[in-house]
Structure 1
């Protein structure tokens, strides 16, 4: 009988993680390396990507840092080629690059911007990164997967791609009302459509495409938000960022060999009420 744990083994595979130095992406990069994959840590911030890659190699893994702007086709193509040149192929793509207003104040958008006043520039920039970025990354990775005869893509969505955000969570009694911006739900829902499209398009080509939709991941949120969010989940808390790693590895590995076009929701029961 085959050991089921062998199906999570990524030895002999090369993976590229977009946003590989980010909150979730850095964990995804480390996890894939721990499972045996050679990992290209791709991020706009090359110094942060290098730090993640250095940590992986210091622990005995294989990793390379790549500077990559997911909004530019030339940059995505160059990064995929560099990963292939470094490790001899490209088997796994994890699309983790994304903009979120909590972590990206440079968008020129304030959290108190209502829908009616939401800046078009912020909407367009987020679409470029969150949705077009995944499109360009998949488009650039696919030729290497087709040439190698196998491939897996994992697109990172969100529970806000399944339903609208509960804007009550962002209320502050002693300050201006805040909002989760419209681009977040729109782009994350779009990623689910792109996932299904790619899975259907590559049917019969030994390329599987699935999505992972996390619930709220704690990252120094204030106590008021943390408590309000936690009360809406069945498990009564926000997720730890490490809790997404095993789910991603499941989708990236042969453990999920009979899954494509699916969306794995890891949300503490948020969407099951």
Structure 2
């Protein structure tokens, strides 16, 4: 299904392109023919998905003017805008009791507001050309109330994602549903991928006791998340919108 020219002529923006999942998504789209712009706030120079077809730039997803600038640059230089993949985000660890207000604001600002601003900016150019694909990155944490079991071991909570992260990703899930209904008549599908624990720099301290709860017996890989994104961005997924696709090794089923 994923032929080398699957996305030939398509233009894609991947936010959070310097992270593990962002790099994997950008590389996968480019490998299948898309012209890809990979954007990140810090470390845009580290975006190197082994493909010369990926352009890189700096983007602060929490600033409306910055998002508008990037969208305008893409449509002006590449002539169209077909696929938006919102990967940009931050993780936050610890208990609700010790969560600082500034940390709550930081997580919601980047993960939820930033995703919305990018979705909002994509609507006009996608509508103008008759359609497009938006894929947001949610999380199993936005569904299951968190992986830790503090009633068994309070230390698990201190080393795992907290309530701010979970709320931000649950917000991304419901945002996906709202936008899917609002934009369907314009030929724009809006879906999300909700990964479970994925091996990356952000999960190096993930408690072994929680890894043991994943039914398939291991953490996920960034390439596996990218494969789900590839499908949702493809022509074959044209009848799928408002879906939050779980890629979590069975740790949560709904």
Q: TM-score, normalised by structure 2?
A: 0.91
User: Hey, what does 2:62 align to over in structure 1?
Assistant: 71
Given that 1:167 and 1:179 are in contact with CA atoms closer than 8 Å, whether structure 2 keeps it comes out as yes
Aligned-pair distance for 1:7? 10
Given that 2:23 and 2:48 are in contact with CA atoms closer than 8 Å, whether structure 1 keeps it comes out as no
**Distance change in 2, residues 1:223/1:201 (3 Å):** closer
1:86 aligns with 2:81: no
User: Hey, what does 2:196 align to over in structure 1?
Assistant: 215
1:98 aligns with 2:101: no
Q: Which runs of 5+ in 2 are unaligned?
A: none
User: Hey, what does 1:255 align to over in structure 2?
Assistant: 236
RMSD: 2.3
Distance in 2, Cα, partners of 1:19 & 1:222: 19
1:32 aligns with 2:43: no
Distance in 2, Cα, partners of 1:92 & 1:178: 34
Distance in 2, Cα, partners of 1:222 & 1:161: 20
**Distance change in 2, residues 1:179/1:28 (3 Å):** closer
**Distance change in 2, residues 1:233/1:53 (3 Å):** closer
Aligned-pair distance for 1:180? 2.6
Given that 2:148 and 2:210 are in contact with CA atoms closer than 8 Å, whether structure 1 keeps it comes out as no
User: Hey, what does 1:52 align to over in structure 2?
Assistant: 47
Q: Which is worse superposed, 148-157 or 235-244?
A: 235-244
1:135 aligns with 2:130: no
Distance in 2, Cα, partners of 1:224 & 1:43: 24
Q: How does 1:191-202 map to 2 (within 5 A)?
A: 191-202=172-183
Secondary structure of 1:162's counterpart equals: helix
Distance in 1, Cα, partners of 2:16 & 2:215: 29
Given that 1:8 and 1:249 are in contact with CA atoms closer than 8 Å, whether structure 2 keeps it comes out as no
Distance in 1, Cα, partners of 2:165 & 2:206: 22
User: Hey, what does 1:14 align to over in structure 2?
Assistant: 11
1:168 aligns with 2:149: yes
1:238 aligns with 2:235: no
Secondary structure of 1:270's counterpart equals: coil
Q: Which runs of 5+ in 1 are unaligned?
A: 102-110
**Distance change in 2, residues 1:243/1:54 (3 Å):** closer
Give 4+ residue runs of structure 1 displaced > 6 Å after superposition. none
Aligned-pair distance for 1:68? 0.6
1:125 to 75, 100, 106: 106
Q: Which is worse superposed, 62-71 or 5-14?
A: 5-14
